[in-house]
Amino acid sequence: MAKKEISVKWEEAMDKDVLRYHLIICWVAVVFNLLFSGVDYVNNPETWFQYFVIRLSISVITAFLIFMRPRWNMIAELLAFIPFMLISIQNAYMWSIMDAAELQKHTFSYIALLIGGGMMLLWRRHWSFKVIYLSLPINILFFYLFSELSLEEILSNGGFLTFMVSIIFIFLVDVRYRLTKSNIISRLKLERSNKQIARQKQIVEEKNKEILDSITYAKRIQTAILPSQKSFAEYLGNPVILYKPKDIVAGDFYWVHNSNKYTYFAAADCTGHGVPGAMVSMVCSAAINRAIVELKITETNKILDLVREIVVSTLSKGDGEVQDGMDIALCRLNNETKEVQFSGAKSPMYHFRYLKEGEVTGSKDIYTKTHILQEYKGDRQPVGKYVSEHPFSSTTVQTQKGEHIFIFSDGFADQFGGDDCRKFKYGPFKKLLSGVLNEPNTNQQKILDEVFEKWRDDLEQVDDVCVIGVMI
């Protein structure tokens, strides 16, 4: 809304306010001018009927103007000006035939009229001056023709006070007009700002909806490339899968592939989360597929070496250099011997193996009555560009039926929560995993989820969470 438009708008709004207030003033004049006849009867019983006829005439004229205003298209200022002038003339005549005592009593009625008008009239200053210009000579003329009082008596018995109140009247009306104008302009500016905010909000909401729709569809694509529960169950016997993206799409992903002799499974944490993390996860997932499914590489360390080459090559084709990559725990389970080969990029593998007969454990070992935790750390380098990269290593572990393998991203252990808002950390995470070993796999997943949500409470989830648990 331009300044010119605001000017037009405030004048339109002011016209409506002026008309509303002046209609009220006119009806007040119709009613109260007649009611003052009672005061006249008490103060001037001899001239009461004469005053009543004058008051009644002015009230009738005012009411007539109110009803004829729409037909005559009379402006609101003139609608109030005419009754105000008529009442001023009425008062001028009544004053001119009063004695000093009566004049003094009537002064307060006239002052009340001026103050009341000053509080309700809504017009520009020149209308107030017109009232003074016309009222003053009429008062002088009537006092000259009819009054028996001297100028000094007139001034001392209410004339001077009435004149001073008339000046205040001009000031009151002018201040009220300016304040009303300022309020209307402020209201219009606020309405303009609110409309702009509403339009901007609508645009933002539309853009957010478009972005949300796009991300939601991206989630469908990402979900489509993740292994299904059926695939995991078929190859790994209904494993534990706790997968909680921080946003709609995630940088974490899990992966499984079976090649008759071996079953490969992995939990990966790509750089970032949300849309950037999801884009990197697509590149990394495709690289793993190429290394294992297409190129048939079987050794986990060599798989990660090739995946790193593919990821670095893919993310370095453009003009800009991207340092993104992933942390990953990759396992290869020999379906016949139950031997597990593990390679990790900044991610460990937890093996809950059976306690051997007569085995002595350290006080810091995490173990149950039947299992002890054996942790295998990955290499301290990511799958991606790294300043001191070296070939990945591998560890081979012989497992038995009933033992457990857990691989995961760092989202669970790094989540803030609890009474003192601290990280969950890996020590409690290890104890949590050891505490669910004897539960059915479906219960293990439910317990992990409940513990995470209770720990997080109403705090924001800081990262994607991915925990994969496999019972041999």
For residue 321, being part of any structural domain is answered with yes
Same domain, 257 and 166: no
For residue 367, being part of any structural domain is answered with yes
Residues 6 or more apart from 308 whose CB is under 8 A from it? 325, 383, 384, 389, 392
Question: Please, is 458 exposed, middle or buried when counting C-beta atoms within 10 Å of its C-beta (0-12, 13-18, 19+)?
Answer: exposed
Beta bridge partners of residue 340, listed in sequence order: 333, 397
Same domain, 254 and 153: no
Q: What CA–CA distance (Å, rounded) separates 286 from 308?
A: 12
The CATH number linked to 374 is 3.60.40.10
Same domain, 309 and 171: no
For residue 393, being part of any structural domain is answered with yes
**Element at 229 (helix H, strand E):** helix 229-236
Same domain, 190 and 251: no
Same domain, 315 and 429: yes
Q: What CA–CA distance (Å, rounded) separates 113 from 33?
A: 10
Q: How do 404-408 and 349-354 pair as beta strands? A: antiparallel
Residue 48: the pLDDT is 83
Same domain, 272 and 393: yes
For residue 213, being part of any structural domain is answered with no
For residue 161, being part of any structural domain is answered with yes
Query: Per residue of the chain (472 residues), what is the pLDDT tens digit?
Result: 455 555 557 777 777 888 888 888 888 888 888 887 887 787 777 778 888 888 899 889 989 998 998 899 888 888 888 888 888 888 888 878 887 777 777 777 777 777 777 777 888 888 888 888 888 888 888 888 888 878 787 778 777 887 788 788 888 888 888 888 888 888 888 888 888 888 898 888 888 888 888 887 877 877 777 887 777 778 888 788 999 998 888 888 999 999 889 999 999 988 877 788 888 888 888 899 999 999 999 999 999 999 999 988 888 765 556 677 899 999 999 999 999 999 999 999 999 998 887 676 766 677 777 888 999 999 999 998 888 889 999 999 999 998 999 999 999 999 999 888 899 999 999 999 998 988 887 789 899 999 999 999 889 999 999 999 999 8
Q: Write out the residue range of the structural domain in which residue 364 sits.
A: 227-471
Residue 177: the pLDDT is 84
Q: In sequence order, which ranges of 44-124 are alpha helices (DSSP H)?
A: 48-72, 76-96, 100-120
Say if CB 114 and CB 169 are below 8 A apart: yes
Q: Produce one character per residue of 367-377: b if its CB has 16 or more CB atoms within 10 Å, e if not.
A: beeebbbeebe
For residue 91, being part of any structural domain is answered with yes
Residue 217: the pLDDT is 80
Say if CB 141 and CB 195 are below 8 A apart: no
Same domain, 313 and 190: no
Same domain, 263 and 116: no
Same domain, 178 and 241: no
Same domain, 301 and 426: yes
Single-letter residue type at 113: L
**Element at 451 (helix H, strand E):** helix 441-456
For residue 219, being part of any structural domain is answered with no
Closest CA to 397 of 364, 434, 351, 356: 351
Q: How many domains does the chain have?
A: 2
Q: What CA–CA distance (Å, rounded) separates 408 from 449?
A: 14
Q: Would residue 381 be called left, alpha or beta, if left means φ above 0 and alpha means ψ between -120 and 50 degrees? A: beta
- Residue 100 DSSP one-character state: H
For residue 217, being part of any structural domain is answered with no
Say if CB 378 and CB 347 are below 8 A apart: yes
Torsion sign across C-alpha atoms 281, 283, 286, 287 = negative
Q: What CA–CA distance (Å, rounded) separates 384 from 190?
A: 54
Show which of 195, 211, 235 is a domain's final residue.
Answer: 195
Residue 357: the pLDDT is 72
Same domain, 278 and 339: yes
User: How many alpha carbons lie under 13 Å from residue 52 in its C-beta half-sphere?
Assistant: 14
Residue 321: the pLDDT is 63
**Tokens read off for 32:** 């109260």
Same domain, 368 and 292: yes
Q: What CA–CA distance (Å, rounded) separates 470 from 232?
A: 9
